[in-house]
Structures are given as C-alpha cells and as structure tokens.
Amino acid sequence: MASLLPKSIGFYINVLSYVAPKKAFGLAYKFFSNPRIGRLNAEDLPQILQKAQRETIQENEHSIQTYIWKGNDTIMLLAHGWESNASRWEKLLPHLLETGNTIIAIDAPAHGLSSGNEFNVPLYASHIHLVVKKHNPKYIIGHSMGGIAAVYYQYLHPNHPLEKMVLLGAPSDFSIILDNYLNLLSLNNNIRNAFHDYITDRFQINISEFSGQHFIQNTKLQGIIAHDKLDTIVLYSEAEKLASKWKNATFISTTGLGHSLHDVELNQKISAFLLGA
C-alpha cells in the first residue's frame, strides 16, 4: 500500500502538468527538495548535541547551525546526509574525540536547527564553504548527500584548507538521484524536461555533468571512500565511480552495514587515517 502513495502523487502531478505546468513542476520540486524529517527541537536536543558548544552562522536569509566539541587546533568538519542531522555522528564521534582534535558538525539546510525548507547540493556546499572560511578545518567527513556536497565544495574552492576527506555511502551522479525520484513517482516527460531546464538555469550546470566522479578527479586530497555492498539507498556502483577517479583514496568495502555504515572497526579506521596512522 505504501508504494501506492508516490504513484498517486505522481499521477496528480502528471495530470496537472498539462493544465498548469508551472504549478505541477513547483509541486514536484517541493517533494524533491523539501525534507520530511530531520528537524530538531532546540529545547530537546539529542544528548550528544547537548554536550557541544552551539554556534550559528548567519548569511543573508540563511541560518547555519553548527555544534563544536573543543579540542586542539586541528579541526574536523562533519556533514550529514538527507533527512538527518548532526546527531547522526553519535557513534563515530567518540572515536574522533579520542584524537584530541576539535570537531565541528553542521546541520544541513532545512535540517536540524538550520533554517529553510529547501535542500540541494549547491546550497549545502555553500554552507560548508561558510563554515570552512570561519574555522579552517583540515579534514571533512561526509555521509551520503553530505559526502557529495563536500566533494562539490572542494571542486568549487580549489584553494580550500582541507587535507583529507572521508566519504561514507556517498552518491556520485546527480542524474541517478533525479531519475530515481522521477521513476518513483512515474513522472512524465513534461516534468522531467522542466527539472532539466530549471537545474540548468538555476545552477548553471548540465545534469549529466553534475557528477562526483568529475568533481573529484583532480583533487590532491587524501581520502577514504567507504560503501556497503548491500546499500539500498545509494548503490555500491556509485562508490566505484568515485574510487575510479580519486587517485589518492582508499576504498573500503563493507557487507551488511547498510547505508548508515555504523561500525566500530570502520570508525577506528577512519580515526587512524585522520591521525596519519
């Protein structure tokens, strides 16, 4: 029965696209870009975030929430994925804190305590850029969409201070993300074409060129790509694309951890890599 809801929504949008195409696309884009879960209540934060120093960065209409666990002058930045928030790092954080480094976790646009209703990779990358400008992290860890946002950030800003990057369950090609959404709702070519036109006009990039494997191929960063073979959210082949282009990355393949990749052994490997062990 659950699978009927997306199809019903898609049917309505398809019909609407013939009589009110702008309204139909607006609705389709809203479902695509507005997260349904992942918000936090400032008065009832998860315990792991209550232990952090909170800092808000304001940029125009955007309010970017960060959480800081103070350590030494070496800074790590953590970027979570779609429909999540900074608390997703609860299991990795103890391993990172053992390094003695300062840890900063960000709430993505429209997630956690950050402002807005819309999420997209260019916007997330711009938020990462603001945090990097203020704190100059040496390392960044991104999970899922936070991973591709980190990849896009370092591509846009080649003079970044980053030295190492860790990608956990990260996608590569935006075209696959979009196609999965369009197919889930069985949206027609009117909506498909409207998405292509909108993204090209707004972000000045062709969908087929919005690809992590393209953004990462010239990076000098050292890195880790970790992905589970049984990940049903972001396919394993996406990690293989990234690994094929990122010359300085170690590819860690797991089985049975799923998309979350919560695992003590993997967390230890990440911590050791960042420490240079």
The whole-number average pLDDT for the span 106-125 is 97
Q: What is the pLDDT of residue 4?
A: 64
Please tell me which residue, 3 or 89, carries the higher pLDDT value: 89
Give the CATH architecture of domain 42-173+211-275: 3-Layer(aba) Sandwich (3.40)
What confidence category does residue 118 fall into, taking pLDDT thresholds of 50, 70 and 90?
Answer: very high
Mean pLDDT of the chain: 96
Question: 257 φ, ψ to 5°?
Answer: -90, -15
Q: What is the tens place of the pLDDT at every residue in 31-58?
A: 999 999 999 999 999 999 999 999 999 9
Q: At what angle do helices 21-33 and 4-19 cross, to 10 degrees?
A: 150
Q: What is the tens place of the pLDDT at every residue in 208-248?
A: 899 999 999 999 999 999 999 999 999 999 999 999 999 99
Three-state DSSP at 139 gives strand
The whole-number average pLDDT for the span 83-94 is 98
Q: What is the tens place of the pLDDT at every residue in 69-80?
A: 999 999 999 999
Q: What is the pLDDT of residue 1?
A: 39
Question: 159 φ, ψ to 5°?
Answer: -95, 25
3 pLDDT more than 70: no
Percentage with pLDDT > 70 across the chain: 98
What confidence category does residue 277 fall into, taking pLDDT thresholds of 50, 70 and 90?
Answer: low
This prediction has a pTM of 0.96
What confidence category does residue 6 fall into, taking pLDDT thresholds of 50, 70 and 90?
Answer: confident
Q: Where are the domains of the chain?
A: 1-33+181-205, 42-173+211-275
Percentage with pLDDT > 90 across the chain: 94
Rounded CA separation 93/270 (Å): 11
Q: What is the tens place of the pLDDT at every residue in 8-34?
A: 999 999 999 999 999 999 999 999 999
Q: Which two tokens stand for residue 51?
A: 């232990």
Question: How is 169-194 classified by DSSP, letter by letter?
Answer: S---BHHHHHHHHHHHTT--HHHHHH
What confidence category does residue 155 fall into, taking pLDDT thresholds of 50, 70 and 90?
Answer: very high
2 pLDDT more than 60: no
